[in-house]
Homo-oligomer: A and B are copies of this chain.
Amino acid sequence: MIGAGYMTPQQIKAQSEEIKQLTPRPFGINLFVPNAFNGSEESIRSATMSLQLIRQAINAQQPDSIDIPQFDQLVITFNEQIKVIIEEKIPICSFTFGLPSEQVIAELKQHNIILIGTATTVSEAIEIENKGIDLVVVQGSEAGGHRGNFMSNTQQSLVGLMSLIPQVVDHVNIPVIAAGGIMDSRGVMASLCLGAQGVQMGTAFLTCTESGANPVYKDAILSAKEDQIVLTRAFSGKFARGIFNQFIAHMQPYEAAFPDFPIQNALTKNLRKAAASQGNKEFMSLWSGQSPRLAKNQRASLLIHSIIKALKDA
């Protein structure tokens, strides 16, 4: 799976061609579904002021100007991403932050592309099935990165996998893929016991040798504890789970008033980039699920083989 939410259509095409050179096996692209968002001039001005204080503290330059995302433009880009997926005959396409229009779904299905939706509650999973999607990822409260809720609010969406998997399985007929805190064969086996037919693992691969994540980010996960993993909307305007750091601490009093995703994401972009280039983990977004103590710096093949071996032995 390629997380392509922030990629241009050209980047998706390049990634797709690179993968096809490497393997004849199926692969998938994950996209962010555009949603209407709010961001008053006042909230943007206020967030910009809060961020400027942080920029000064870490000697990061204020950008000359910031392009504020426009919903219409996001929809145009999304449609271009879909077009590339069809042109490139990418076998699988998954969605986060909701579902595309019925027209887009119909078009992708016409081209025999397997579709996957992301749900955080039973109602969302039922909606995904009703829209004709082929599989559903259920994102437990344990999951790192952005919450995928699109019908429920963030608090309602924080259901642990022990509860979420069997309740969804009892209410849909499409295969369920479990996501959130799954790091090794134990989590995979548990997910299967609960009724899932597959799993989606993020943080577990992030610290692998082959991962291109910033080494500072990898080290932060490898030394984090489960009670340091928090939810914040300060980085992007949408709630996401990651390692608590100074940025989250400083922004806590203000974050409720920040503009929505993806405006806040655009406002913090150059700050995050500056922190990353300084290797300063206190001001980077360090997305992680709730199982950082299970993270290892190992080859991805070792992780996969250990899971397959455990499944065979069971």
- Least CB distance, A70 to chain B, in whole angstroms: 32
Partner of A187, one of B194, B230, B291: B194
Q: Which residue of B lies closest to A166 (CB)?
A: B186
Partner of A152, one of B122, B184, B227: B227
Q: Which residue of B lies closest to A188 (CB)?
A: B193
Place the interface of chain A in its size category: 35 or more
User: Are the CB atoms of A230 and B155 closer together than 8 Å?
Assistant: yes
- Least CB distance, A68 to chain B, in whole angstroms: 31
Partner of A166, one of B122, B152, B164, B187: B187
Q: Which residues of B contact A178 (CB under 8 A)?
A: 162
Q: Which residues of B contact A182 (CB under 8 A)?
A: 162
**A104→B104 CA distance, assembly (Å):** 66
Whether a CB of chain B sits under 8 angstroms from the CB of A16 is: no
Q: Which residues of B contact A194 (CB under 8 A)?
A: 186-187, 190
- Least CB distance, A182 to chain B, in whole angstroms: 6
> Which residue, A141, A180, A184, has most C-beta atoms of chain B within 10 A?
A141
User: Are the CB atoms of A227 and B163 closer together than 8 Å?
Assistant: no
Q: Which residues of B contact A280 (CB under 8 A)?
A: none
Q: Report A's interface with B, CB cutoff 8 A.
A: 121-123, 140-142, 152, 155-164, 166-167, 170-171, 178, 180-184, 186-187, 189-191, 193-195, 225-228, 230, 289-291, 293-294
Other contacts beyond A121-B227, A166-B187, A167-B291: 11, CB < 8 A: A121-B226, A142-B159, A142-B163, A155-B230, A158-B158, A159-B227, A163-B181, A163-B294, A166-B186, A167-B293, A190-B190
